[in-house]
Amino acid sequence: MNQIAPQPGIMEIALYQGGKASVEGVSNVIKLSSNENPFGPSEAAQEAVRRAAREMHRYPSTDHAELRAAIAEVHGLDARQIICGVGSDEIIHFLCQAYAGPGDEVIHTEHGFAMYRISALAAGATPVEVPEQERVTDVDAILAAAGPKTKLVFLANPNNPTGTMIGLAEIERLAEGLPPQAILVLDGAYAEYVEGYDGGAALAGSRSNVVMTRTFSKLYGLGGMRVGWGYGSQEIIDVLNRIRGPFNLSTVALAAAEAAIRDTAYVERCRSENTRLRNWLAEALAEHGVPSDASTANFVLARFGSPEEAAACDAFLQSEGLIVRRVAGYNLPAALRITVGDEPSCRRVAHVIGRFKAGER
């Protein structure tokens, strides 16, 4: 008998399905499936990468002091309370590894990001899915589900793939009402897209049971560089640093992220273009009979009449060289998540969906 076996929970993990990047037989595709910045990285970030490439033979910094200082300066935070990771995925992973294990529960919402479940299972903990209200986080449902076994509560705000968000007063009520051993993780992967929203930074800075995670993969256009960060009490950040690999971020990735966050003019331009094009896309889809919830992120969750119609529209889009995201795995089989692209891409996706709704298949 084979006695080699993985830890409990590992075999329950379904492999993460990333957004498709190509369609067989179709060239020049437009990829609107992974919520990437359609304008790419800033010139400053590209230049920083070119410069850092000359130092590739050197090991990178272990404490990420320069990047943490840049993040702290731009966001008005305490650099000692920041940890950087290989994408915010790694911060999510550290949190589960450090705070949850067999017998513990990790709460995520009904349509929450897939990595919460994956990281909870990888740590041997039990993921607990809590219903949302019409694709919006339901604080009362989370509070009702939280108990003595709850160690972590993951909340993406804005949420992916719904695009909806809840206000800070509701988040504060949630943090206040959780059992004392539980940490509320506010995932702010899309926080930068929301004008005037700090992603929960002030809350994470003042409450010992709140951690905020952020990423360079979306608005900053660095998905391929894999840089994210977390912000919380010094005690929690100290715990997470103990399990972080000393050289988890490359010299090149660190340089790109630092330049990207300091290029505030570029960030602002990308943010305002996203808002303009997202609103245009949502309205254009609605005119074609495809509703969506008011999105606060860089994508729109387009709702169709049935799972079959969503699948047929996805196939039609692909045949026209447009790749969007099926979200059946997020309990949303009748929806397609469409990343807000540049203006020609938004016009093209709206036009093709219009043709589909008019009966063309």
- Interface residues with ligand PLP (CB under 6 A) are 35, 87-89, 113, 156, 160, 187, 189, 215, 217, 223, 228
315: number of Cβ within 10 Å = 13
Q: Which is nearer to ligand PLP, 187 or 320 (CB)?
A: 187
Q: Which is nearer to ligand PLP, 138 or 320 (CB)?
A: 138
Q: Which is nearer to ligand PLP, 64 or 284 (CB)?
A: 64
Q: Which is nearer to ligand PLP, 87 or 205 (CB)?
A: 87
Q: Which is nearer to ligand PLP, 257 or 282 (CB)?
A: 257
Rounded to the nearest 5°, which phi and psi values hold at 302?
-85, 125
| Rounded CA separation 167/199 (Å) | 10
Q: Quote the least distance from Cβ 131 to ligand PLP, whole Å.
A: 18
Q: Which is nearer to ligand PLP, 106 or 352 (CB)?
A: 106
Q: Which residues, other chains included, contact 32 with Cβ-Cβ below 8 Å and sequence gap of 6+?
A: 322, 323, 324, 325, 338, 339, 340, 341, 345, 349
| Rounded CA separation 184/354 (Å) | 41
| DSSP conformational letter for 72 | H
| Rounded CA separation 236/171 (Å) | 19
Residue nearest to ligand PLP (CB): 87
Report which residue type is found at 11.
M
Report which residue type is found at 101.
G
129 sits in the region (left: phi over 0; alpha: psi -120 to 50; else beta) called beta
Q: Quote the least distance from Cβ 342 to ligand PLP, whole Å.
A: 19
Token pair for residue 269?
């331009």
State CA 287 to chain mean position distance.
29
| Rounded CA separation 345/191 (Å) | 23
Give CA angle at 249 (185, 94), nearest 5°: 30
